[in-house]
Structure 1
């Protein structure tokens, strides 16, 4: 892949498929693809980055050997046929099967929503509506069974959604201090240490 140090010249005048977007390669900006349009966001803040990293550390020690936590990688939601304007998100963290990660890497393709066990977004000042509404609907439509929203505003909280056939995502309320889950795998997260 080549590194781009500027935005594509046709930004705003062209709709991209997920494959077109992936072909752009590594970039110097933080972007996602939403219904064929490249959306550029500021790089994450210190608290955002630290909380994501610390969450991944806690997850790593608790995940079974077949699962791995990945930070900030592109994810093809596959909401439309491959030749249509696509949606590619870059979740702050996702848990996938190691075999699926290796397959995607060997095939030179993006991870697919069907390969994701859990996706996590950390709320930033400019992403609150996107994380709580837009991405929530997109991830549910893509069939991702578990979606967590981590909010690093004090007190740090985590809202965990699980997907149902009838209602889409539902949650059991926001957790502060300690979050415990039985699905997708048993996990206990100490939210109070994410910004230590």
Structure 2
């Protein structure tokens, strides 16, 4: 294994800070910051993941009410040492072509589509961190027989915990964070999926 280039060594003992990400143009794409450590996507993105993110982005762009914006692969500044990059964010902001991150206080919904390399972070680490930052809605999308299954979580404000609110197959229907009705099986073209066992 080769040494990291000097530009990727943390500038201080406590690691990187959220604002440092905007000054690392030579870092690999999709770098994120977790507890002051840079995390890079180390394996190529799977086609299923890419298609699921693209389809969900298109659907949510149609569903979000005025005042909310759906954006894919943008970092969220949770605090000084955490700036993860979820697959999809819905935030209460206006479009800004120069934006590189969202503030956690503006984020309504975070969606992570699980990949083998990110499974632990998506299911546990990010779930806890998003809740601690006060983000009210978190969806984790898993692949089951080539089709999406959405694990929906909501923030329990009194405990600041992210609690399970349901597991959805075939159709995702929810009144929050805004009216949602998504044909999950329709997100993946029929020719590109295996038949789901009923």
Decide: shared fold, TM above 0.5.
Answer: yes
Unaligned 5+ residue runs, structure 2?
Answer: 190-198
**Cα deviation per residue 1:33-73 (whole Å; 9 max; x = unaligned)?**
11111111134211101101101111122211221110001
Tell me what 1:182 maps to. Answer: 175
Q: Equivalent residues in 2 for 1:74-89 (5 A)?
A: 74-78=75-79, 82=80, 86-89=81-84
TM-score w.r.t. the length of structure 2 is 0.82
Q: 2:88 aligns with which of 88, 93, 108?
A: 93
In 1, Cα distance between the equivalents of 2:181 and 2:26?
A: 34
Aligned to 2:181, the other structure's residue is in SS state strand
Q: Is the 8 A contact 2:74 2:100 kept in 1?
A: no
Q: Is the 8 A contact 2:151 2:166 kept in 1?
A: yes
Aligned residue pair count: 180
What is the CA RMSD across the aligned residues, in angstroms?
A: 2.0
**Which structure has the higher relative contact order (CA within 8 Å, separation 6+)?**
1
Q: Is the 8 A contact 1:51 1:152 kept in 2?
A: no
Q: 2:152 aligns with which of 155, 160, 169?
A: 160
Q: Equivalent residues in 2 for 1:8-87 (5 A)?
A: 8-14=5-11, 15-25=15-25, 27-41=27-41, 42-78=43-79, 82=80, 86-87=81-82
**Cα deviation per residue 1:127-176 (whole Å; 9 max; x = unaligned)?**
11111110000000111011000112324200111101234111222110
Aligned to 1:152, the other structure's residue is in SS state strand
**Cα deviation per residue 1:107-143 (whole Å; 9 max; x = unaligned)?**
x663111111100000001211111110000000111
Unaligned 5+ residue runs, structure 1?
Answer: 1-6
Q: Is the 8 A contact 1:29 1:43 kept in 2?
A: no
In 2, Cα distance between the equivalents of 1:151 and 1:23?
A: 33
